[in-house]
Amino acid sequence: MDIDAHMASGQSPMIDPFGRKITYLRVSVTDRCDFRCVYCMAENMTFLPKKDLLTLEELDRVCTAFIAKGVRKLRLTGGEPLVRRNIMWLIRSLSRHMESGALDELTLTTNGSQLTRFAHELADAGVRRVNISMDTLDPEKFQQITRWGRLEQVMAGIDAAQEAGLHVKINAVALKDVNEHEIEEMLRWAHGRGMDLTLIETMPLGDIDGDRTDQYLPLSTVRARLAEKFTLEDIPYKTGGPARYVQVAETGGRLGFITPLTHNFCESCNRVRLTCTGTLYMCLGQEDAADLRAPLRASEGNELLNAAIDEAISRKPKGHDFVIDRRNNQPAVSRHMSVTGG
């Protein structure tokens, strides 16, 4: 059956109970990763059995249904999306929606480890931007944070991405006593290479092998420190995600802040998240979810799938309840970031 026929079906746009239009879908294509970052995973993770995963064809079909319902931006995440077997088939397939004008942007969040292999293929498939998650410029510290990663591999990936013409943004999780004194150096380095830098507060997702209260560093503190060295000017720049941006006068680059804890960004949330098993999370910070795999597999047509999506959007909550302190040492939600996609 031609799933693109649904593109012409005049699906109603997705508007949640608070009047927010849902135009951004993040899809975790795998829960697997070739790193084991200390704030994201335990070292010995148990991954999902293959039978639970949506096939690449099913992922294509679900994404196409969302695009028919008004999604304009699609971001593939993981785990590490580029370790999913044959992932380039899915990316090339989804790029047809950019060619038709139905989709504005197809992007990727990656740890950078596979970019030397895939950067040119991604660019050829219409991907224009990638976000690379990277928390330090110190090779030893990088290995401590990622457990299995090598900094030089990621640096080579950044080189390959820029050579292929991809716009690169660096995402760094601000970690107390780990990289907090490197942030100025990372800012100068990223901006020196024409890359935006976005700082992220650590989020209470999933049991890890440590204590998150030891990791938590409020970005209000980071911003105040940076403001002593740099001129930070608030700008209205948006990429479709939750980051608030400033222009840094001294470097000419942009710096983003994602602050789910010190200042949540729920009022403008236009996003939903699909996991590799077909579970739709209407909010990163809530357990409430909808199963799209069952309706997807129950019929060749998309009527059941569309109805399940509509029902889920009608339950999108106003916001999340993240908090990290000594009294709330349990994760706010039990699933790991690698399941929902960072």
Residue 190 reports pLDDT greater than 50: yes
**Judging by beta carbons within 10 Å of its beta carbon (0-12, 13-18, 19+), is residue 65 exposed, middle or buried?**
buried
Residue 269 known to bind ligand: yes
- Pick the more confident residue, 51 or 194: 194
Whether residue 282 is annotated as binding a ligand: the answer is no
Q: Is 28 annotated as a binding residue?
A: no
* Model confidence pLDDT, tens digit, residues 111-166: 999 999 999 999 999 999 999 999 999 999 999 999 999 999 999 999 999 999 99
The answer to whether 266 is a known ligand-binding residue is yes
96 assigned binding-site residue: no
- Tell whether residue 79 is among the known ligand binding residues: yes
Instruction: Tell me if 299 is assigned to a ligand binding site.
Output: no
Over residues 79-121, the pLDDT tens digits come to: 999 999 999 999 999 999 999 999 999 999 999 999 999 999 9
Residue 334 pLDDT level (bands cut at 50, 70, 90) = low
Predicted local distance difference test score (pLDDT) of residue 82 = 98
What DSSP letter does each residue of 259-306 carry, written as one string?
Answer: -TTTS--GGG--EEEE-TTSEEES-TT---EEE-HHHHHH-SSSHHHH
- pLDDT-derived band at 264 (thresholds 50, 70, 90) equals low
26 is in an annotated binding site: yes
Determine the CATH number of domain 3-169+268-340: 3.20.20.70
- CA 176 remoteness from chain centre: 22
Domain parsing of the chain, residue ranges: 3-169+268-340
Total-model pTM: 0.88
Give the neighbor-by-neighbor strand order of the sheet with 232-235. Answer: 232-235, 244-248, 254-258, 196-201, 167-174, 129-133, 105-110, 73-77, 24-28, 271-274, 279-281, 289-291
pLDDT value at position 99?
97
Question: Is 154 one of the annotated binding-site residues?
Answer: no
Question: Across residues 61-74, what is the average pLDDT?
Answer: 98
- Residue 251 is assigned to a ligand binding site: no
User: Do the annotations mark residue 273 as ligand-binding?
Assistant: yes
- CA 240 to chain centroid: 11
Q: Give the model confidence (pLDDT) of 244-260 as tens digits.
A: 999 999 999 999 999 86
Find out whether 37 is annotated in a ligand binding site.
yes
* H or E element in which residue 73 lies: strand 73-77
Known binding residue 133? Answer is yes
Is 271 annotated to bind a ligand? Reply is: yes
19 is in an annotated binding site: no
Q: 206-237: per-residue pLDDT in tens?
A: 554 555 456 788 899 999 999 999 999 999 99
